[in-house]
């Protein structure tokens, strides 16, 4: 089994019931395994969920990682609460990851894009499933928040949304292309939130749902944000009706993004559900953005945990000012420290401008480079 030289040799045991107790532990552990050439065994998979064990979307991600590292995968079957991966070596190429459900393509991207970034050559992955799903980031979060921030860390990839897929049909198609290894990941510093200079967003409907729903969500969100932020900040929420050939199923939702004078990006989003009126969906998204801004940090809760793996792999010390540390972030840090030699520190800050507790999240990365 090929090894990168980072961390201890031998099988790493991960307890999937720790902290968040969901699929995130599995995803992060397998991604580190694939990257570092470390065998990993995960028990009690998704023990914190009402339906423990592997679901179809988890299996899709596991098979994808197996292909990316040419490894040996055990326990990859529906309902399994135990699995292991013995990786070989990262290999670039063309891959397909199809959940065959409305399972989130964004969660599949989370496990695989770090691996693409360290392949010795270009790769393309087609992801099929749900693009705008409950209990997962919307694809718009990736395009509007995550990718721009990762670009600062020397993590770049091309993303094409060919077709959006909504619950329960799925059927979405997203293509990601990455040129592969282009030097170490840069550490990131996000220490000064600055002032909000604009708010923009996307309010959308698809399928048989009327565009008036998107108009209502945009109008209600605009009104609520104006009351919060004042008249001096421009708010532009685009109203979109997805074209029939670019979406599968019926769906509606909204994402709102605040951009600051120092280049920070924070978001709030919500999805429509049967029986929930557009005004409620708009309120949920605006409330999430307002809470992120009130926290006083440079990242929202969703970016906070998604940056952990890149901070752990980076060449140097990353520092981020953030609001309260989420359980998802604590889980990501736990797995990172089990799988790598990265060192994380969380320090409470005395910030009188924040309406919640504020923290400094630091990480000394492992300066990872592929063999």
User: Can you read off the two tokens belonging to residue 39?
Assistant: 């065998």
Q: DSSP labels for 204-228? A: EEETTS-HHHHHHHHHHHHHHHHHH
Residue with tokens 């359980």: 327
Q: In three state form, how does the secondary structure of 141-180 look?
A: HHHHHHHHHHHHCCCCCEEEEEEEEECCCECEEEEEEECC
d(C-alpha 74, C-alpha 85), whole Å: 6
Say how far apart CA 60 and CA 66 lie, in whole Å: 10
Q: Which residues are catalytic?
A: 328
Sheet of 94-98: strands edge to edge?
94-98, 123-129, 172-178, 158-165, 247-248
At 275 the three-state DSSP class reads: coil
Of 72, 150, 192, the C-alpha closest to 309 is 150
State the burial class of residue 183 (Cβ atoms within 10 Å of its Cβ: 0-12, 13-18, 19+).
Answer: exposed
């Amino acid at each position: 089994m090929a090894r990168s030289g980072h961390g201890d040799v031998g099988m790493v045991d991960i307890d999937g019931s720790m902290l968040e107790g969901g699929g995130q532990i599995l995803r992060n552990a397998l991604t580190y395994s694939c990257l570092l050439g470390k065998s990993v065994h995960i028990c009690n998979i998704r023990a914190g969920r009402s339906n423990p064990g592997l679901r179809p979307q988890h299996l899709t991600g596991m098979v994808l990682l197996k292909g990316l590292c040419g490894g040996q995968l055990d326990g990859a079957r529906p309902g399994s609460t135990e699995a292991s991966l013995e990786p070989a070596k990262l290999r670039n190429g063309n891959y397909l990851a199809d959940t065959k459900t409305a399972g989130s393509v964004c969660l599949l991207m989370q496990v695989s894009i770090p691996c693409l970034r360290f392949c010795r050559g270009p790769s393309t992955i087609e992801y099929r499933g749900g693009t705008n799903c409950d209990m997962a980031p919307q694809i718009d979060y990736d395009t509007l928040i995550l990718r721009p921030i990762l670009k600062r860390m020397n993590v770049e990839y091309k993303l094409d949304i060919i077709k959006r897929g909504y619950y329960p049909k799925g059927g979405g198609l997203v293509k990601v292309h990455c040129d592969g290894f282009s030097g170490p990941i840069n550490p990131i510093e996000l220490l000064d939130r600055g002032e909000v200079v604009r708010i923009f967003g996307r309010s959308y409907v698809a399928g048989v749902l009327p565009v008036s729903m998107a108009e209502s969500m945009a109008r209600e969100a605009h009104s609520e944000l104006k009351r919060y932020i004042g008249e001096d900040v421009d708010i532009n929420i685009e109203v979109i009706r997805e074209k029939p050939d670019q979406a599968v199923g019926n769906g509606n939702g909204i994402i709102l993004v605040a951009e600051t004078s120092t280049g920070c990006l924070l978001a709030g989003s919500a999805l429509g559900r049967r029986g929930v009126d557009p005004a409620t969906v708009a309120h949920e998204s605006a409330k999430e953005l307002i809470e992120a801004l009130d926290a006083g940090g440079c990242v929202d809760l969703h970016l906070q945990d998604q940056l952990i793996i890149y901070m752990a792999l980076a060449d140097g010390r990353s520092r981020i000012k953030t609001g309260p540390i989420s359980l998802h972030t604590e889980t990501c840090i736990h797995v990172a420290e089990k799988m790598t030699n990265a060192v994380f520190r969380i320090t409470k800050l005395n910030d009188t401008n924040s309406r919640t507790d504020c923290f400094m999240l630091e990480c000394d990365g492992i300066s990872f480079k592929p063999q």
